[in-house]
Structure 1
């Protein structure tokens, strides 16, 4: 059951990044493609019905992690406490920016919340990418299963790393560019006219940048965490996930050039989903890797709750998962298609 719950956590986190990731991306390209007030209203309306629902996956993933792997949850939340507080505040400011902008009809008020929307979107992508880099590289776990990581040390991965080093910063930048590309692909599906043309141009540039950062990341990961590459060599079939993911990125670029908007968005979704799955299964059975002593790493076995709880929890999870999935399918079916400036949700 430990592996089953690892798969569940992985899928839910990947779903969150794919769905809320395009919200972040829309926020990042917002000031570059929306030149008029009508454009800005259209961009915000494109994610207005869905951004709240997309965040449900983050809450659900956190709940599942707490239930299935309480030791890993406790260690992660303790060690990354400041980073998690930053994420909370950024999510709050992003939500406020979307909800409060239209409450006062004044140019400075609107500009302030537009800035908050873009800034919070960029920083969330950077923080989540940096967090992924920390998970891959590992943290200095002690014998009690806890750790403390300073903001930075010498910017080199090692036994006593900081939150920021060249590798985690690379992951932060990669995540930012890839999610900006993903968001631009989504926005292309929702817009028309000059706004559409500007977004297409942005998506093409971001697509090639995403390909470049993906190459750098693929080279860097086995250098920083050789055990991940070793796991892949032990299970060659796992290579299919990153291989199909990279192919999906290529197809997303191809579809973008050919003007097949929906296909480009779906392909970038597959790319992000499979690359995250690849990382998680490359780390398996580790959840938190120790940089001081591999024997101190938290795994799906030593961090899991008891077997009875894992077995009993499956039935509750299936019901909740199907409920969320059904609601989101209905939501997207209702708001599919182009968005206009006068759409308000």
Structure 2
């Protein structure tokens, strides 16, 4: 049962990364791609019908973690309380900026909300990448099951890390470049005219940075946490994840050259999915690794809820997922196709 719920959560987080990833990417590249007020409205209309729905996957993942692995919440909040609060405020600011920008006719206020949209989107990308890197690297869990992380120590991995070190900074930068690429491909798919052309050109440049950081990211992960290679060596079939990531990156570049926009975006979805699921496989059966000598890794079995809770939760989760997937299929179908600069439809 623990294995099932671990991969349920992993797949839900993958859905969040893929879906909310493109609108975070749109926000990160927003000020460079869209240069006039009408172009920025066009860019926002591409994510307007879906951005808030995409964030449902983050809430659903958090709720699933809470009932499936409650001890993980107690342990994680002890050391990540401040970063989690910052993420919450950034999500709020991002939503407010998207909503209020379209309700203001004053140039000053529209520019202010556009800057907040960019700022919050870029910082969320950095925080999510650094957070995943913190989990992969491990945290100094004490004998009591709690831990404290300063913002930084000596910027090295080891028994006394900080939230920021060379590895977590690498994770944050990789997340920004990967989501910027994802957002560029989405804008190229959903827009036309100058915005489409700039998005395509930016995607070609960001692809190079993503390829470079992904290439050094895998050996960096093994260096930061050598145990992450254990499951791969025990189950060599898992090497399919990095191979799929590499194949998807190559496919992105080929589609950019040939103008196959939908295929390029789907390849980006595959790249993000394979990278995250590969990281999850490198962790399993650990759900939060420990560094140092005081504490032990928090495993899936240690953090698992009682069997009755899991059985009841699985029944309700199945119903909820069916409704959520149906909703998303309908929304994406209704708002399919490109968004014209002259289109005055949905804008939030």
Shorter-chain TM-score bucket reads over 0.9
Aligned match of 1:208 = 208
What CA distance in whole angstroms lies between the structure 2 residues aligned with 1:47 and 1:72?
33
CA separation in 2, counterparts of 1:93 and 1:286? Answer: 34
Matched residue SS, 2:245: helix
List structure 1 runs of 4+ shifted beyond 4 angstroms. Answer: none
Matched, 1:96 2:96: yes
Which position in structure 2 is the counterpart of 1:344?
346
Residue in 1 that maps onto 2:257: 257
Instruction: Give the deviation of 1:242 after TM superposition.
Output: 1.9
- Indicate the residue corresponding to 1:279 in structure 2: 279
Report matched runs for 1:1-345 at 5 Å. Answer: 1-293=1-293, 296-341=296-341, 342-345=344-347
Q: Give the gaps of 5 or more residues in structure 1.
A: none
Cα distance, 1:266 vs structure 2: 0.4
How far off is 1:240 after superposition?
A: 1.0
Secondary structure class of the residue paired with 1:287? strand
Alpha-carbon distance in 1 for matches of 2:230, 2:34: 46
CA contact (8 A) 1:208 1:253 kept: no
After TM superposition, the structure 1 stretch with the greater mean CA deviation from structure 2, 123-132 or 186-195, is: 186-195
- Aligned residue for 2:287, secondary structure, equals strand
Q: Distance in 2 between matches of 1:200 and 1:294?
A: 50
Q: CA RMSD in A?
A: 1.1
Q: What is the SS of the residue equivalent to 1:302? A: helix
CA distance in structure 1 between the partners assigned to 2:260 and 2:274 by the alignment: 21
Q: Displacement of 1:295 after TM fit?
A: 6.1
TM-score normalised by length of structure 2:
0.97
1:244 deviates by 1.2
- Aligned-pair distance for 1:77? 2.1
Separation of aligned partners in 2, 1:334 and 1:280: 33
Q: Does structure 2 retain, via aligned residues, the 8 Å contact 1:129–1:172?
A: yes
Q: CA deviation at 1:294?
A: 8.6
1:103 CA drift (Å): 2.3
Structure 1 residue 105: Cα displacement: 1.4
Query: How many Å apart are 1:218 and its aligned residue?
Result: 1.1
Q: Structure 1's 40 and 56: CA in aligned 2 closer, same or farther, altered over 3 A?
A: same
Residue aligned with 2:336, SS: coil
Instruction: Please give the alpha-carbon distance, in whole angstroms, between the structure 1 residues aligned to 2:78 and 2:254.
Output: 43
**Which stretch of structure 1 is more off in the superposition, 59-68 or 103-112?**
103-112
Q: CA deviation at 1:320?
A: 0.8
Name the stretch that deviates more: 239-248 or 133-142: 239-248
1: CA distance, partners of 2:257 / 2:294: 46
Deviates more, 1:312-321 or 1:255-264: 312-321
Do 2:159 and 2:291's aligned partners in 1 also have CA atoms closer than 8 Å? yes
CA–CA separation in structure 1 for the residues paired with 2:332 and 2:263: 16
User: 1:34: Cα distance to partner?
Assistant: 0.5
Alpha-carbon distance in 1 for matches of 2:150, 2:111: 35
Q: What is the CA–CA distance in structure 2 between the aligned matches of 1:180 and 1:262, rounded to whole Å?
A: 16
Cα deviation, residue 17, structure 1: 0.7
Kept in 1, the 8 Å contact 2:145–2:295? The answer is no
* 5+ residue gaps, structure 2: none
